[in-house]
Amino acid sequence: MTLLLDIAVRGSLVLAVGLLMCVALRRRAPALRHAVLVVALTMAPLIAPLGLLLPAVAVPLPGLSRIAALMPSQVAPPAPARLAARPRTKSAALQAGVEAARRPTTPDANVRWTTVAATLWALGAALLFGSLLASTVRLAVATRRARPVDRPSWTTALASSTRAAGVARTVRLKESPRADMLATWGWRRPCLLIPAGALDWPDERIRIVLGHELAHISRGDWVWQMHATVVRAVLWWNPLAWMACHQLSVESERACDDSVLALGVAPHAYAEQLLAVARALRAAPPSSPAIAVSMARPSTLHRRIAAMLNPDLPRSTPSRLTTAVLVGAVLALLVPVAVIRGAIAQAPLEGVVYDSSGAVVPEVRLTLDGNGRKAEATTDAEGRFAFPAVEPGAYVLESAVRGFRVLRQPIDLKAPTDWSRVITLQLGTLKETISVRGRRGSGAATAPAGPVRVRVGGNIRPPKKLKDVKPVYPSSSQEAGHEGVVEIEAVIGKDGSVSAARVTSAEIYPELAAAAMDAVRQWTFSATLLNGTPVEVVMNVSISFGLE
């Protein structure tokens, strides 16, 4: 859930920055605001992945320290504590097992809510993408059914307007069979659909309509509107995405209005013709708001007319340099949103130490080394430890407890949950070294050696060897002069017998390995007890065969 929240927060910040900059630039040209919104809508879904690629900048947040201070009581699982206080008798253990079986189990809340959120997002995105696909199909079908326009009043005006707008691509001009469709769509082969009955429009209206629609083509507004629609489908749950997408459409229409006025059309004449077109169309088609650019959209008509009749508003189209500088400024504001990471200033590093049976281990001395500091802590009667005021960074947590393997665990403290640790100590291994001596060309001779057991103790009762079988130096090996050290890893089962054994030496004569394995498999031990319970333990055996 943390990743989903990170994407949601950072994407919302990007969209908020874009919308606020549009408010700050309300006295500037609409084309500038349109460029700002394009950058914001592009960066919103990419800001979180971009943050993973760029170097992170940690900013200490005291609030996260208080959150981390609460983590041990929330994160440390209570199950091992219950294991430490498990029933002492068989009947009590059986009753506890029955009660535990009756107790309902609940799935992890974080996994459950993450799954629900991902499912809801997928359903909403699929619905909007399906609507976009259906609108594209309807518009493509309408374009195929439309008839090419060959009326001189339109074709002549199209040629002159295309040159004035600086459009180098061929624009398809078609008459739709519907009386309510006026829209421009397409990129490489743009298409301008005019409504049925528009062939008889007056020349001034034709000139204004073509000037407006060709401005859309010159600016690439259909591509940007499609891009915004896709982003809105991805971020459908965010109201800021809907606001930015709507405002992008508004700014593109106003920027094209300014382009028409720059051709020398009087504002009042433009307003009259725009109202006449809106009355002729009556209502926008269902497909045009999603993927086509419509000139006379009723929802924006009032504000557009008010803007074109306001002589104080700037009309000039900003230069490419001005637009590039503004876009660069927006990116400079958005990059910190991607790279800044909230970091904990200081918080206590706390946790619990258990053994492999789930019981807590008291009086364990731990050492924390790294990041310019070295500190020690000891677990209490409940197995808990605490290092006060630990800063973020990379550390090594070390501990050496008799009977357990040496603990050397690297830890990296970043997120609030990193300050809460659960440590499980693993059983140590036994080691026995035996030296077998023989004479060259004569019978076998052995030199017995007793087992050397290390790293056992505490709440562990180590095993004792009950049956010892000495390895025999094979006579064939003595005659051939073969020597070597056989390393064996053996597992002492719960009943004290050697349940498994394997040779770990990389280079050893097969006769020597077989002799060593034959002896080790016959050994028996008393049971190894961890907190009174028999457990398996690993024993490393080293048998040296040498000749005198």
Structure tokens at 321: 């340099």
User: Which DSSP state fits 392?
Assistant: S
What is the Rg, in whole angstroms, of the alpha carbon atoms belonging to the chain?
A: 40
pLDDT at 74: 41
Report how far Cα 469 is from the mean position of its chain's Cα atoms: 58
Section 516-541 average pLDDT: 88
Chain center to CA of 275: 50
Rounded Cα–Cα distance for residues 118 and 269 (Å):
52
State yes or no: pLDDT of 46 exceeds 50.
yes
Question: Which DSSP string corresponds to 36-68?
Answer: HHHHHHHHTTTHHHHHHHSPPEEEEEHHHHHHH
Residue with tokens 């097969």: 510
Helix and strand tally (H, E) in the chain? 17, 23
Q: What is the pLDDT of residue 418?
A: 82
Phi/psi zone of residue 457: left (φ > 0), alpha (ψ -120 to 50 degrees), beta?
Answer: left
Q: Average of pLDDT values for 174-191?
A: 88
Average pLDDT over the chain, rounded to whole? 80
What H or E segment, with its residue span, contains residue 348? strand 347-355
Amino acid at 396: V
Per DSSP bridges, beta strands 347-355 and 420-425 are: parallel
More confident residue, 521 or 337: 521
pLDDT at residue 285 in the model: 46
Residue 174: strand, helix, or coil: strand
Q: Cα–Cα distance between 15 and 36 in angstroms, integer?
A: 10
Range from 55-69, 427-441, 446-460 carrying the lowest mean pLDDT = 446-460
Confidence of residue 503 (pLDDT cuts 50, 70, 90): confident
Q: How much is the pLDDT for 156? A: 94
Whether the per-residue pLDDT at 230 is higher than 80: the answer is yes
* Cα gap 451→448, rounded to integer Å: 10
**Position 11 confidence tier, pLDDT thresholds 50, 70, 90:** confident
Q: Rounded mean pLDDT of 84-89?
A: 40
Would you state the structure tokens that stand for residue 94, as one six-digit string? 């059986």
